[in-house]
Structure 1
């Protein structure tokens, strides 16, 4: 069993090494930070959505931004569209599951806001619908997906492709990227006082 555990850790580490060596991925992370800082500095907000484990990432990153990451500072405007069970079930019942995020983007999004859309396959219908709704409302669109990208490339202003086709490895790479983004946005918005 310990060998299987070791192999899983090494596989995850190899994915992160590929991420660290992927110039396009590093540029995407930097671009996402710049986009968030620009939006937040202008009084705009970040909306985040995803399915399953990616929904948990959306919630996690929103919490890091609204609360704190490395140090105390004012909260940053971030809303996870994955958390309100009444909204999700109401929209799912009235409009269909594919609309659970798009309807919220239509209600809460405004030009200049940023939508974070997470889908390991790049083919989640509800995430794609949210991206289309964001585009229609003038939001900037940021995508997080796997190596294949699915349908997301055409819908995202910036797209981070984790260098893997395995869902767990994609999610692990997204989690590291999300932490980097939260840390860098926090530091840029509220530079620590030495």
Structure 2
């Protein structure tokens, strides 16, 4: 059994994963820019996850219905993991893999975005939701742990954190979520944004 990283070793694992995180940064930033256009044109975001990832999915939808940093209009975002009556009804009447897939069919429309968060990328209910979302014409964005995994393969696009521990993957999913929200606000012209490119331009001028 692999020992659990504790105290400073927990941070060491996070630093090691951050060194491999640049591709996810670019993906999350691009997602935020594209999501801004989708939401501005009346599209919707759906999100789901299991356990800790369910909490992060709800965090994402809260940032869109509320705000990330600066004030802006609210946007349509539904966390499927938070629909407790629907979840319990579906679990009672259908196989477990239908938990989110059935909600995706109910709420998703062609062109909407479905964000699925799974540290393993192997949860059957996530994979089936991705398949159902793609079939319904949604843009399915998966946030997962290391590749390869079935969820990344089933999704339209993925942000895969290369880290061996669930905690590290979840921590960097939160970073990616915030990068997405900041990029969305930047694309909408909300507040003043700071990027590496803008800082490099300032240095050239000075």
Question: TM-score, normalized by length of structure 2?
Answer: 0.85
Q: Tell me which residue corresponds to 1:13.
A: 15
SS at match of 1:97: coil
CA contact (8 A) 2:25 2:176 kept: no
The C-alpha deviation readout for 1:11-48, integer Å capped at 9, x for no partner, is 2232123213xxx3233223312331231122101000
Give the Cα separation in 2 of the matches to 1:192 and 1:42. 21
* Structure 1: unaligned runs, 5 residues or longer: none
Structure 2 residue matching 1:69: 3-state secondary structure: coil
Give the CA deviation at 1:193.
7.2
Alignment of structure 1 residues 28-67 onto 2, 5 Å? 28-67=27-66
Instruction: Give 1:25-174 correspondences, 5 Å limit.
Output: 25-174=24-173
Runs ≥4 residues deviating over 4 A: none
d(CA) in 2 for partners of 1:175, 1:149: 21
Encode CA deviations 1:68-125: one digit per residue, 9 max, x unaligned. Answer: 1111211121111000211100011111221111011000000010000111111110
Q: 1:185 to 1:59 in 2, by over 3 A?
A: same
RMSD: 1.8
Q: How many residues align?
A: 189
Tell me what 2:180 maps to: 181
What are structure 2's unaligned runs of at least 5 residues?
Answer: 194-206
* Equivalent residues of 2:134, 2:156 under 8 A apart: no
Q: Secondary structure at the match of 2:162?
A: coil
